[in-house]
Structure 1
């Protein structure tokens, strides 16, 4: 098991979730080096004691544990396997944790490359959005060698409360696809329920009191429906990234010979929102489709 005293954490990707995750590691006394393509997004962390690294290469050279949470599989591949890639510059015996929602095939590719170089690679995507990241209550789904999972337990426990080892490399990413599939159809139901309540002349806040703790209860109903009602569409998780996740899941489902009509419908609706300029909004902005855009010709 890795010890805090001997661990230097490199953190790549200080966006909506990464910022809070790195902040929690600093609060627990870890030494943290951060890299982000836009340095201004890391300023709060630097003010709290994090050190800046100019490239992923510098992160890899300084850290014993490297955490990445970026946007797209292409970003992951560049960060790990590009010219300044982490796997070409990390120390032998170090650990890398990719917490980006990415493809299972890429997770396996990184694992194999790391193994050649004596570097432990785990895929550990997360769920819980900005709230879970801020409160250190993320669900963490881990794939890779079980020994690496056990060694990294103290780090995972700073970031989340539901931490499950899912199996070999890629299993974490497959589990995250299950998570996103469940959320996708659920978000449609949540939006339709709130709009229905409004059209029926009900107080949607009062409706939520009745339905959020019953059989209909879900994270989206409890945490995102109140944002919809308030007109708060700031991102806890970007629509553009959710579309990316749904498309990965659809590709994986197709590869396995599985039909996923609910997921296909959700991807279609969110893609319409994307065309209307909502990429940077939170996933709860699907509510806007029902409120304003449902009669759109697109």
Structure 2
């Protein structure tokens, strides 16, 4: 596998493309706003003028876009595009790394089968730092033989690359990941709010807490950002809300009660003007109240 079409050059996609280039892959890129691709083109990627061009003649096509509607558009097309499914050559591996609905991953997989394509759903975790450092966690659903064929490519972007099962399994695993993050991040915010309410130095207190059993990635990384009043997005609130809604809706399909998930989702929805901030902006719930 040598040539890769990569669609979606945002916070995550840009760093992922650079790591694929470093690993020796020939990468072709497309994103709706061409200027967002300037950095990766300067690093050696080749610009394509459309989704269709980016998909044609490639060994694999990777997508990491914003929302389910965006995923639907790039795979199934619109008035300006045929979409990946109709444009990619038979035998191409098409890999959606967006966090989206498991049912949508199954839909793409079934359409891919009809057109002789090999589809995988492979959402990631690790944020911008994981993308930059090539240490993403990648959760993969689809046929295991297709996963095996793409493993070298995945390992250029991540250090934890695990096959989860049939189509949609990667997305279900990512939903569970986002549920766990919601709890860890809310716990970190509540701990900081409690410390501040009692007049303690939260930075000093967290030095103790993060070296014990209560530590988490959210506490170490987003906790530090909160203390610095740094709300820059390693992962956007608007995307996290989308992810939590997906998890909540799929839980409701099985009448599964997940009160922590739904409470954190409600807290985000009640905040105003934070959509383009990092997920650590959840702390504003307590700053707003006080």
Q: Tell me whether the two structures share a fold, i.e. TM-score over 0.5.
A: yes
Post-superposition offset of 1:213: 2.6
- 2:118 matches 1:120: yes
**Of 61, 68, 72, which aligns to 1:66?**
61
| Residue pairs, 1:127-166, within 5 angstroms | 127-166=125-164
Instruction: Indicate the residue corresponding to 2:277 in structure 1.
Output: 281
Post-superposition offset of 1:26: 1.1
Instruction: Indicate the residue corresponding to 2:49 in structure 1.
Output: 54
Whole-Å separation in 1 of the counterparts to 2:242 and 2:232: 18
RMSD: 1.0
Instruction: Indicate the residue corresponding to 2:223 in structure 1.
Output: 225
Post-superposition offset of 1:220: 0.4
Post-superposition offset of 1:200: 2.3
Instruction: Give secondary structure in 1 for the equivalent of 2:16.
Output: helix
Post-superposition offset of 1:27: 1.5
Runs (4 or more) in structure 1 with deviation over 6 Å come to none
Whole-Å separation in 2 of the counterparts to 1:223 and 1:60: 36
Give deviations 1:107-152, integer Å, cap 9, x for gaps.
0010011011111000000000011111111111000000000000
Give deviations 1:207-259, integer Å, cap 9, x for gaps.
22211131111110111100000011010110001000111111100001101
Post-superposition offset of 1:199: 2.4
Instruction: Indicate the residue corresponding to 1:193 in structure 2.
Output: 191
- 2:13 matches 1:15: no
Instruction: Give secondary structure in 2 for the equivalent of 1:231.
Output: coil
**Of 93, 96, 99, which aligns to 2:94?**
96
TM-score, structure 1 as length reference: 0.94
| Structure 1: gaps (5+ residues) | none
Instruction: Give secondary structure in 2 for the equivalent of 1:175.
Output: helix
TM-score, structure 2 as length reference: 0.97
Q: Give the count of matched residue pairs.
A: 287
Instruction: Give secondary structure in 2 for the equivalent of 1:93.
Output: coil
